[in-house]
Structure 1
Amino acid sequence: MSDLATILAEPIARIGATVFTLGQVLAGLAVLFLLLLVALVVSLWRSASARALAAGEAAEHARETEARMAGILQAQAEMQGRMSAVADTLGARQAELNQTIGQRLDSLTGRIGQTMAEQTRSTHENLARLQERLAVIDTAQNNIRSLAGQVVQLQAILSNKQTRGAFGQARMEAIVADGLPMGGYTFQETLSNGSRPDCVVKMPNGAPPLVIDAKFPLEAWNAIRAAAEADQTGEAQRGAQQAFRRDLDVHIRAISEKYLLAGETHDTAFMFVPSESIFAEIHENFEPVIQRAHRARVVIVSPSLLMLSIQVIQSILKDASMREQAHLIQGEVVRLMEDLSRMDERVRKLQVHFGQASKDIDDILISASKVAKRGQKIEALEFGDAPQAEAQPARGAESKTGQLRLRVVDDRD
């Protein structure tokens, strides 16, 4: 033992000032071995724990995987059931949809056929109407052609003096005949000097008749229009205007000399112009002619002015007729006033009867009021229970007092 201790105590290494013995080195190695052993045991324990934990986790994961697989299988089964249900529903819906689409296609086909039939019928009707309108248009075109021919004839008429006068007289006669009653005018009447005016209008109140002339000089006017349309020189237009002015002066002088007869015709005559435009042109560009016509007591009138003049004459005739019938109206008014007087007298008598009846009703009401008051007074009387012997004088006095009171009340009433 001592040798072992000696051996263990022998120094075997020196590090700086520190000396290490064999025992220290062996003790250190033993400690190091123990530490290594402990570390190895700890490592083995940890690895065993890790393997156990890994095995547990693997088992848990396997269980979870199995559970998930079971859930997936269940979900797949449910999904297959749902898919089959959906397939059945889709099949039923598809069948219903096919049936609905078939019905709608049939209905749509029927509607389209009906619409096509209606459109065809409407097209035929429109074509028939179009043909009718085309026929009307053809008729109107024929009428226009006929009217154009008539216009040409009218132009030919207006180019002739006699036929032009007949045209102007026709317009004048239509205006006069529409505005005046029969017997208020005459056409083509012969005057004392042998002239025959186009129209003579009878005036009221014994006044001389009014003469109307319808023969308007249109040749110079047509020459003015022709010069303006041909765009000729101003000299040609002035010459046409001068000729028109000269024809108007001649015509106005002829009307004044032939138709204004003292005591036989009115002191004013009408010269009828059958066109409003010509009338306006004369008043605008030929003012001296208008002045000379006024001095000659010839009034130039257009169709509208002649119509207005005829209406005024008609009003004067109506007024004259009313004046002629004034005595009849006055007699009727006198008889009407007599009837009114008799009605007033009878109304006054009826008023007297009503007044008397009202007075009688007031008297009856006064009497009824008195009777009511007396009845109230009788109800207000009081009778006592005193002995008959003692009560007689008092009753007599009371009765006298009551009679006196009633008399006083009657006198007051």
Structure 2
Amino acid sequence: MEIWIAVGVGAFNALLLVLLLRRPSGNNEAAALALQQSLQSMHEKLERIERELRTEITESSRGGRQELTQNLALFQQSQVQQLTLMQKSIGDTLNQQLQQLQKSNADKLDEMRRTVDEKLQTTLEKRLSESFKQVAERLEQVHNGLGQMQKLADGVGSLQRVLTNVKTRGMFGEVQLEALLEQVLTIEQYAKQVETKPRSNQRVDFAIRFPGRGGADGEPVWLPIDAKFPREDYERLLDAQDRADGVAAEVAAKALEVRIRTEAKSIAESYLAPPHTTDFAILFLPTEGLYAEVLRRPGLMDSLQRDYRVSLAGPTTLLAMLNSLHMGFRTLALEQQASEVWKVLGAVKTEFERYGDWVEKVREQVQKAADTLDRADTRSRQMRRALKNVEALPEGEAQALLPKFDDALDDTDAKV
């Protein structure tokens, strides 16, 4: 507003100045005085108008501020009311949704409870039926097992009747002994039904083959192994022990000891013949129980080794002996292979010395060829210096007078 008033005053002053300038020059002083008075009066009016305008603007701004304050108060009250209504509406909506959610969750929980109850009932019925089925199957298996046990009892009785025969008992020990030998040794390291004592017509059940004095190609040395199974004496001993009859058990144990001594003496007389055999033999007892009863007899093991050079062995003891022998065979094979390797290395050494002579001869030939090439190169340079002043012919005339280099090489190869 003040800017427009100043612009209007300036425009009015400019208009008065233009009018004064257009009047005649004789009245300049009077005009200037009149203009000054007019300007003074105008200035006073403008100041009065400015004061009035300022007063009006101040009152107007004061009224505007009051109105704006009232409007803001009304707007704030309206917003508070709207927020209160909105809060109430949101609270009602949330409560309603929460109630719906609780109802939905309760319905789902009831449905899940019914589903779980149904599944539990179904699973329980299924498990019970499976359990009854398994129990029935197990009872059937037990029934079948009882039938098999009855058959096994019949088989044991048949085996007992079979083992009553002395020859059959011997075959039982031989079969078990052969199984142990096959488990540890190779087929080349033992033999069956061997006449270890020359011209005796007595054949031992099994014998382990050792290298002889002539090496691997010489006659072998045999270790006799014979299987014995004194069933009657052993059963009498077990029967007396079951009855807790000490006197009968001692009598049966002495009878078993006498039987073992008799068998050991027979083995020593029939199968031991150094140097064709080792200086001892092995008496194999096919059951651990029988072997343990024999070991209980005081001094029996030492007596058999000292008097008859016979060692007792049960299944476990014989297996340990065979493993030791197997390691010895492997060590011997390694020694033989080491000897062969040394022989091969000696031959390689001799051949390597000859190879060194050949290399030396080849080196001399190569050196001679290198010297010859050096002399040829020197001669070529001398010939090139000698032909330096000779005028070279064109290539066509040179090829007409001399053969091509490749053709000359082919002719040389053909002559060679």
Question: Taking structure 1 as the reference length, what is the TM-score of the superposition?
Answer: 0.53
Secondary structure, aligned partner of 2:237: helix
Pairs within 5 Å for 1:175-190? 175-190=180-195
CA distance in 2, matches of 1:305, 1:289: 13
Question: Is 1:300 aligned to residue 305 of structure 2?
Answer: no
- Mapped contact 2:223–2:277 kept (Cα < 8 A): yes
Secondary structure, aligned partner of 2:194: coil
CA distance in 1, matches of 2:98, 2:331: 96
Q: CA deviation at 1:134?
A: 4.4
CA distance in 1, matches of 2:279, 2:123: 77
Q: CA deviation at 1:139?
A: 4.6
Q: CA 1:258–1:92 in structure 2 vs 1: closer, same or farther (change >3 Å)?
A: closer
Secondary structure, aligned partner of 2:207: strand
Structure 2, gaps ≥5 residues long: 1-93, 214-219, 356-416
Match of 1:195 in 2: 202
Q: CA 1:164–1:92 in structure 2 vs 1: closer, same or farther (change >3 Å)?
A: same
CA distance in 2, matches of 1:247, 1:310: 26
Q: CA deviation at 1:321?
A: 2.1
Question: Is 1:279 aligned to residue 286 of structure 2?
Answer: no
Match of 1:323 in 2: 335
Q: CA deviation at 1:187?
A: 1.4
Question: Is 1:252 aligned to residue 264 of structure 2?
Answer: yes
Q: CA 1:274–1:286 in structure 2 vs 1: closer, same or farther (change >3 Å)?
A: farther
Match of 1:373 in 2: none
Deviations 1:377-413 (A, max 9, x none): xxxxxxxxxxxxxxxxxxxxxxxxxxxxxxxxxxxxx
Deviations 1:137-173 (A, max 9, x none): 4454444344333333333343332221111111111
Q: CA deviation at 1:264?
A: 2.6
Q: Percent identity?
A: 22
- Mapped contact 1:260–1:269 kept (Cα < 8 A): yes
CA-based RMSD of the aligned residues comes to 3.7
Q: CA deviation at 1:316?
A: 2.1
Q: CA deviation at 1:97?
A: 6.3
Q: CA deviation at 1:112?
A: 1.5
Match of 1:396 in 2: none
Q: CA 1:108–1:267 in structure 2 vs 1: closer, same or farther (change >3 Å)?
A: same
Match of 2:176 in 1: 171
Deviations 1:82-116 (A, max 9, x none): xxxxxxx9999998866654443233112211332
Aligned amino acid, residue 200 of structure 1: A
Aligned amino acid, residue 239 of structure 2: A
Pairs within 5 Å for 1:12-411? 100-190=105-195, 192-206=199-213, 208-232=221-245, 234-288=246-300, 290-331=302-343, 333=345
Q: CA deviation at 1:122?
A: 3.6
Secondary structure, aligned partner of 2:176: helix
CA distance in 2, matches of 1:339, 1:253: 59
Q: CA 1:127–1:329 in structure 2 vs 1: closer, same or farther (change >3 Å)?
A: farther
Structure 1, gaps ≥5 residues long: 1-88, 343-413
Aligned amino acid, residue 299 of structure 2: E
Aligned amino acid, residue 149 of structure 2: I
Q: CA deviation at 1:272?
A: 0.4
Aligned amino acid, residue 324 of structure 1: Q
Secondary structure, aligned partner of 1:267: coil
CA distance in 2, matches of 1:197, 1:230: 38
Q: CA deviation at 1:237?
A: 2.9
Secondary structure, aligned partner of 1:199: strand
Question: How many residues are paired up?
Answer: 258
- Mapped contact 1:203–1:313 kept (Cα < 8 A): no
Q: CA 1:334–1:125 in structure 2 vs 1: closer, same or farther (change >3 Å)?
A: farther
CA distance in 1, matches of 2:208, 2:318: 12
Aligned amino acid, residue 230 of structure 1: R
Q: CA deviation at 1:301?
A: 0.9
CA distance in 2, matches of 1:100, 1:278: 79
Q: CA 1:229–1:125 in structure 2 vs 1: closer, same or farther (change >3 Å)?
A: closer
CA distance in 2, matches of 1:99, 1:325: 89
- Mapped contact 1:248–1:289 kept (Cα < 8 A): no
Q: CA 1:217–1:290 in structure 2 vs 1: closer, same or farther (change >3 Å)?
A: farther
CA distance in 1, matches of 2:298, 2:229: 15
Match of 1:400 in 2: none
Deviations 1:40-65 (A, max 9, x none): xxxxxxxxxxxxxxxxxxxxxxxxxx
Match of 1:361 in 2: none
CA distance in 1, matches of 2:261, 2:291: 15
Aligned amino acid, residue 160 of structure 1: N
CA distance in 1, matches of 2:152, 2:294: 29
Q: CA 1:340–1:113 in structure 2 vs 1: closer, same or farther (change >3 Å)?
A: farther
Aligned amino acid, residue 201 of structure 2: G
Aligned amino acid, residue 171 of structure 1: Q
Aligned amino acid, residue 225 of structure 2: I
Q: CA deviation at 1:251?
A: 1.1
Question: Taking structure 2 as the reference length, what is the TM-score of the superposition?
Answer: 0.53
Aligned amino acid, residue 172 of structure 1: L
- Mapped contact 1:210–1:268 kept (Cα < 8 A): yes
Q: CA deviation at 1:334?
A: 5.4
CA distance in 2, matches of 1:291, 1:253: 11
